[in-house]
Chain A
Amino acid sequence: MESRTRAVIKKSLLAVAMILVVVVTLFPFYWLLLTSVQPKEDLMNSPPKFATEHPTIEPYKYAFREALKEFMNSLAIAFFATVVAVLFGATSAYGFARYRIGGNSLPFWILSLKFFPPVVAIVPFFLMMKTLRLIDTRLGVIIPHLILTVPFAVWMIKGFIQEVPRELEEAAMIDGCSQLDVIRIVTLPLIAPGLVVTALFCFIWSWNDFMFALILTRNQAMTIPVAIAGMRDPHGLMWNEVSATAALGTLPIVALAILLQKYLVRGLSLGSLK
């Protein structure tokens, strides 16, 4: 076979595969959006309804009315948990990666914090927050979230830093750059995609947390996942309202992903340094 034909076949196979992947990826999400505008009677219809003749935006109105405060809470909490995690994470990751501070045990200890099932940490955190009078406050939720996000950030960023060959930094230093300049000019651009991905996932982690938010909030600091879980009657679920709120809940993350998209570029090539 001619190599050009082979290339065309490869490319088209790839395209078909990608389209399939996209369909599979988006289908449940489509179902979510569908459920959010469907009239209640169409739920669990047999055969399933793939579109609806009478879409209603009532569920979204409900979501705005009931969940706005929770939305803001989630936003604030996730934002702080992310920023703190990335800042602290990046600085300590550099120390671990380049200077091997604490040898192997210190970074390992930080990682081991993630071994612990959140379930078991609930009771002590409840007691802790109660004593500190932080129940039902945003700070009361941010603190346990840091246990989720900081170790993650430390290890992720450490990994990305380790990917950058030390020789690059050393070469720059020999050329006369200060330590700070090296980080700024060499390391940072190269690990930018890694920082971005880390930030995105820290945000998602905190945004989606259910356990801690459930136990540590009452009214004031309630977050979206808890609000969604509450959208049920004793017997059944308020499916439409749940879907609408969840759909709205994806918006900040979508926005964040699009915003950070432009930092997901290939790092500078070596040529620009010389």
Chain B
Amino acid sequence: MTLKSRARFLVLPTVLVLALIVIFPMIFSITVSLRDYDIRRPEHPFTGLKNFGDVLTDGEFYNAAVITGTMMAAELIFEFLIGMGLALALVNLPGARKIFQPILLVPMMVMPVVIGYMGRLVFEVRSGPINYFLNLLGLDSLSWHASPQLALITILILRIWQWTPFVMAVMVAGLLSLPIEPFDSAQVDGATTWQIFTRITLPMLRPIIMLIVIMRALEILQTFDLIYVVTLGGPGSRTMTLSLLTYLIGFRYWNVGKASAVAWLLMIPLSILVTVFVRVMERGERVGKSN
């Protein structure tokens, strides 16, 4: 047996297990998206692409898409910059790392629902400590999650607080896994910190960065618990994301068919985006390696 075919055994068990688990839900959701599936009624007539049509003509869908997109962009940027900064700081302070790292991971250890509850307490207009501090500094209280303008920002703050540790931890792991040689030679060659960072660190971290962006993007897309608890998509529909909308449609209005249609509609742009992203990153990697 060749090495490659023996290596197939590495992959086979995983693929089998996943396929087994996933096959029924996949088929179910495709079938259901083509039907009028209301769990309260026994008949599920075939309606073809009606569900998809309903979704694409639903104003709430586009509103949710815009909000989700905005959230994704803002969250990715902030989490990446802050996370990267923290990771670099930690890696350069090996002594402090032992203390700081577990502390900085704390936000990830608290359940998203509970973070939502704490958010409600901390940002409460009348009794929350955040406004208290603002007042101490001579600023007016803000309405945070009660304000149509600030609600999304409030959610973003909570989310960035919650997930930047993830970015930081993965970056630290990535930085620590880098071989030392290139850095030693670069220092010998007299490169500046900035040059080392941009010409060596970043390119070598490419797979990790790609990973972080994809994982975060996917998770942001599915963000649910926190928003559900803090604003339920309000005020109005200012914080109604796609996942919240899907939940409402599928689980409160019981239109499981339409909810599945939303999910499958999203698959298309998502798949395209991710494929393009991966290609771009991998091409860069190959170019980088030849340097």
Contact = CB atoms under 8 A, between A and B. Distances in A.
Contacts of B129: 27, 31, 48, 50
A117 B246 contact: yes
Contact of B102 (A111, A228, A258): A258
Interface in A229-274: 229, 237, 239, 242-243, 246, 249-250, 253-254, 257-258, 261, 264-267, 269-270
B17 A46 contact: no
Interface residues of A, number: 107
Interface in B64-104: 86, 89, 93, 96-98, 100-104
B274 interface: yes
A201 B107 CA distance: 12
A123 B86 contact: no
Interface string B207-238: 11011001100100110110000000000000
A250 B109 contact: yes
A132 B124 CA distance: 46
Contacts of A156: 170, 211, 215
A95 B8 contact: yes
Contacts of B93: 14, 18
A147 B18 CA distance: 7
B49 to A, nearest CB: 17
Interface string B1-20: 00110011011011101100
B200 interface: no
A62 to B, nearest CB: 16
Contacts of B97: 264
A164 interface: yes
Contacts of A204: 108-109
B182 to A, nearest CB: 9
Interface stretch (A53-61, A64-72, A100-108): A100-108
A253 B93 CA distance: 24
Secondary structure dominating the interface of A: helix
Contact of A257 (B109, B112, B222): B109
B156 interface: no
A18 to B, nearest CB: 6
A94 B178 CA distance: 18
A154 B221 CA distance: 20
B173 A264 contact: yes
A237 B166 CA distance: 29
Contact of A165 (B127, B166, B179): B179
Highest count of chain B CB atoms <10 Å: which of A96, A124, A125, A128: A124
A92 B7 CA distance: 9
A119 B250 contact: yes
B179 A270 contact: yes
Contacts of A155: 211, 214-215
Contacts of B113: 210, 225, 228-229
B104 A21 contact: yes
Nearest to B285: A162
Contacts of B127: 44-48
Contacts of A159: 174, 207-208, 210-211
Looking at B106, B177, B256, B270, the one whose CB has the most chain A CB atoms below 10 A away is B177
A92 B15 contact: yes
A159 B275 CA distance: 16
Interface stretch (B52-60, B115-123, B145-153): B115-123
B215 A31 contact: no
Given A35-B118, A204-B108, A266-B176, 20 more contacts: A28-B107, A31-B118, A48-B128, A88-B14, A91-B11, A110-B14, A117-B242, A119-B246, A120-B263, A123-B28, A123-B256, A146-B18, A156-B170, A159-B208, A210-B112, A225-B111, A253-B108, A253-B109, A264-B172, A267-B176
Interface of B: 3-4, 7-8, 10-11, 13-15, 17-18, 21-22, 24-25, 28-29, 32, 39, 86, 89, 93, 96-98, 100-115, 117-119, 121-122, 124, 126-129, 132, 161, 165-166, 169-170, 172-174, 176-181, 204-205, 207-208, 210-211, 214-215, 218, 221-222, 224-225, 242-243, 246-247, 250-251, 256, 259-260, 262-263, 266-267, 270-271, 274-275, 278
25 contacts: A18-B89, A18-B93, A21-B104, A25-B103, A25-B107, A28-B119, A28-B122, A44-B126, A91-B10, A91-B14, A110-B15, A116-B263, A117-B263, A125-B25, A128-B24, A197-B169, A197-B170, A211-B224, A225-B113, A246-B110, A249-B110, A253-B108, A258-B102, A264-B173, A267-B176
